[in-house]
C-alpha cells in the first residue's frame, strides 16, 4: 500500500473544499486569539478531524534537542494512548533526521506494514530555494519501524514547524491502522504548518511587548518609591529596589541574580547571565541614592552608609563615604 494517493476528481474537489474550510477556521482562530496555547489546541483538533487520524500532536523541541508534546487531539475511539505533556529524549529524533528537517524542510509519510517511508523536500538544502518536490519512497529504517510498532502506530505523517528559520517543533499524525493519505491533504497539512509559524511569531512579538511594558512599569515604581523618600533611609530604599528588580528577574530567569531574556514559547536560546550588581539599571538607581546619602554624610560627619541586599544569602552591597567621581563598586561573595 502506497502511503500517498492521488485522489479522483470528485474526491479531490471535496478534499480541496475541506482544506479551504480548515485553513479558514485556523486563520480566524489566529486572528481572534493571541494566546498561542489556545491556537495550538484548536489547531490539533481541527487537523485531527480533517485527516481522520487516531492522534494529532504538536511536538516542541527544547534547547538540548529533547522535546515535549504540548498539544494533542485523539480520535473518538481512543485507539492510541494520550501523550500530551510527556517529554521525549533527543535520541527519539536522531541528529540526521533533525538535519533533514532543517536543511530541506522534509516531510515524512510512513506505512509500517509496507515498510516504506515517503519523503518530500520543501526546500533545496544547497540553495534554500522552495522546490516542493514529488514524494520519493524508500525502505523504512528497521529501528524506526520497531519504534512505531511498539507504540501501536501503523501510519504516520510528520511536518516540521519553523520559527525564524529555526526548527521549532513538529506536527505529527499517528494512526493505529494503515492509512492512505491523499496528496491534497498533505498539501493542506503544509499550509496549516505555515499558519502555525505565523501564530508563533505573533505570540512571541506579543510576549516581548508585554514584557517590555511590565519592566517599564516596575522601573517606574522603583523611581516613584525612591523619589517619595522624605528622609535618608538607605537600607529601606535598597531593599525596596531589590524587591522590585527581583520581580523582573523572576519573570525572565530562574537565577535571582541574573537576567534571562529567552521567551517562554519563542525559540529557545541559551541565556546570557548578567550579575545584578553589574546591571546599568541597578547601578544608576543605587548610585542616585548613594549620592544623596553621601551629601547627607558631609552634613552629618561620622554617619556610615551600609545596606544589605536581599538578593541572596551570599550577596552583600556595601558602600561607604567616597568622592562623587563615579558609581560605587558592588562586591558579591
Helix H or strand E segment including 32: helix 9-32
Rounded to an integer, what distance in angstroms lies between the CA atom of residue 177 and that of residue 152?
A: 9
The residue-averaged pLDDT of 32-37 equals 86
pLDDT of residue 177: 95
- Residue at 269 is within a domain: yes
The answer to whether position 177 is within a domain reads yes
How far is the CA of 294 from the CAs of 227, 241, 281, 297, in angstroms? 17, 18, 20, 5
The pLDDT tens digits of the residues spanning 229-256 come to: 665 566 666 676 777 777 666 665 544 4
234 shares a domain with 189? no
Same domain? 60 vs 186: yes
Question: Can you give the pLDDT at residue 276?
Answer: 57
User: What does pLDDT average to over the chain?
Assistant: 74
Residue 31 located in a structural domain: yes
Grid cell at residue 43: 489547531
For 47-61, 180-194, 245-259, which range has the lowest pLDDT when averaged over its residues?
245-259
Residue 56 belongs to what domain range? 4-203
Do 150 and 298 sit in the same domain of this protein?
Answer: no
Task: Point out the domain boundary residue: 167, 188, 203.
Answer: 203
Q: Tell me whether residue 276 is in a domain.
A: yes
Residues 237 and 196 both lie in one domain: no
Look at the chain and report how many structural domains it folds into. 2
Domain co-membership, 153 together with 118: yes
pLDDT at residue 172, as a whole number: 96
User: Both 180 and 255 in a single domain?
Assistant: no
Q: Are 117 and 144 in contact (CB under 8 A)?
A: yes
Question: 315 - beta bridge partners?
Answer: 332
Q: What 3-state class would DSSP assign to 308? A: coil
Q: What is the pLDDT of residue 333?
A: 29
Residues 279 and 322 in one domain: yes
Least confident of 11-20, 107-116, 205-214: 11-20
Domain assignment present for residue 122? The answer is: yes
Give φ, ψ of 159 to 5 degrees.
-135, 135
Closest CA to 70 of 88, 54, 52: 88
Residues 16 and 153 in one domain: yes
Question: Which has the higher per-residue pLDDT, 93 or 70?
Answer: 70
pTM: 0.63
Q: Which of 79-88, 175-184, 284-293, 317-326 has the highest mean pLDDT?
A: 79-88
Cell 540553495 identifies what position?
127
Identify whether residues 177 and 285 lie together within a single domain: no
Residues 137-183: tens digit of each pLDDT: 889 989 889 999 999 999 999 999 999 889 999 999 999 999 888 88
Same-domain check for residues 112 and 247: no
> pLDDT tier at 97 (50, 70, 90 boundaries)?
confident
Task: Tell me if 29 sits within 8 A of 39, measured CB to CB.
Answer: yes
Rounded to whole angstroms, the Cα distance separating 281 from 220 reads 12
By mean pLDDT, which of 237-246, 264-273, 275-284 is the weakest?
Answer: 264-273
Q: Are residues 176 and 243 in the same domain?
A: no
Least confident of 11-25, 287-301, 310-324: 310-324
pLDDT at 150: 93
Based on the fold, state whether residues 167 and 304 are members of the same structural domain.
no
Lowest mean pLDDT segment, chosen from 28-42, 111-125, 254-268:
254-268
pLDDT band, residue 123 (cuts 50/70/90): confident
CATH number of the domain enclosing 147:
3.30.450.40
**Is residue 224 domain-resident?**
no
231 burial via Cβ count (<10 Å: 0-12, 13-18, 19+):
exposed
Mean pLDDT of 28-55: 89
Amino acid at each position: 500500500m502506497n502511503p500517498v494517493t492521488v485522489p479522483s476528481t470528485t474526491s479531490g474537489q471535496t478534499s480541496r473544499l475541506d482544506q479551504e474550510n480548515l485553513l479558514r477556521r485556523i486563520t480566524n482562530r489566529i486572528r481572534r486569539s493571541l494566546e498561542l496555547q489556545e491556537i495550538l489546541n484548536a489547531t490539533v483538533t481541527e487537523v485531527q478531524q480533517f485527516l481522520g487520524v487516531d492522534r494529532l500532536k504538536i511536538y516542541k523541541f527544547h534547547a538540548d534537542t529533547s522535546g515535549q508534546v504540548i498539544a494533542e487531539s485523539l480520535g473518538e475511539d481512543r485507539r492510541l494512548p494520550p501523550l500530551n505533556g510527556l517529554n521525549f529524549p533527543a535520541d527519539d529524533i536522531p541528529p540526521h533526521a533533525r538535519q533533514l528537517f532543517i536543511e530541506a524542510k522534509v516531510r515524512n509519510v510512513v506505512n509500517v506494514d509496507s515498510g516504506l517511508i515517503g519523503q518530500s523536500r520543501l526546500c533545496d538544502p544547497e540553495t534554500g530555494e522552495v522546490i516542493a518536490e514529488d514524494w520519493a519512497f524508500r525502505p523504512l529504517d528497521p529501528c524506526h519501524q520497531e519504534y512505531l510498532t511498539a507504540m501501536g502506530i501503523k501510519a504516520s505523517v510528520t511536518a516540521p514547524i519553523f520559527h525564524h528559520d529555526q526548527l521549532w517543533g513538529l506536527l505529527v499524525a499517528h494512526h493505529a491502522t494503515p492509512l492512505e493519505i491523499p496528496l491534497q491533504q498533505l498539501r493542506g497539512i503544509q499550509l496549516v504548518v505555515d499558519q502555525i509559524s505565523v501564530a508563533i511569531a505573533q505570540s512571541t512579538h506579543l510576549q516581548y511587548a508585554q514584557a517590555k511594558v511590565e519592566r517599564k512599569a516596575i522601573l517606574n515604581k522603583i523611581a516613584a518609591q525612591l523619589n517619595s523618600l522624605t528622609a535618608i533611609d538607605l537600607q529601606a530604599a535598597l531593599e525596596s529596589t531589590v524587591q522590585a528588580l527581583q520581580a523582573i528577574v523572576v519573570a525572565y530567569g530562574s537565577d535571582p541574580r541574573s537576567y534571562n531574556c529567552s521567551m517562554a514559547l519563542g525559540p529557545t536560546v541559551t541565556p546570557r547571565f548578567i550579575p545584578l550588581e553589574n546591571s546599568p539599571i541597578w547601578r544608576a538607581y543605587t548610585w542616585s541614592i548613594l549620592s544623596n546619602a553621601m551629601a547627607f554624610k558631609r552634613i552629618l560627619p561620622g554617619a556610615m552608609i551600609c545596606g544589605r541586599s536581599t538578593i541572596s544569602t551570599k550577596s552583600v552591597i556595601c558602600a561607604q563615604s567616597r568622592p562623587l567621581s563615579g558609581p560605587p563598586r558592588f562586591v558579591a561573595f
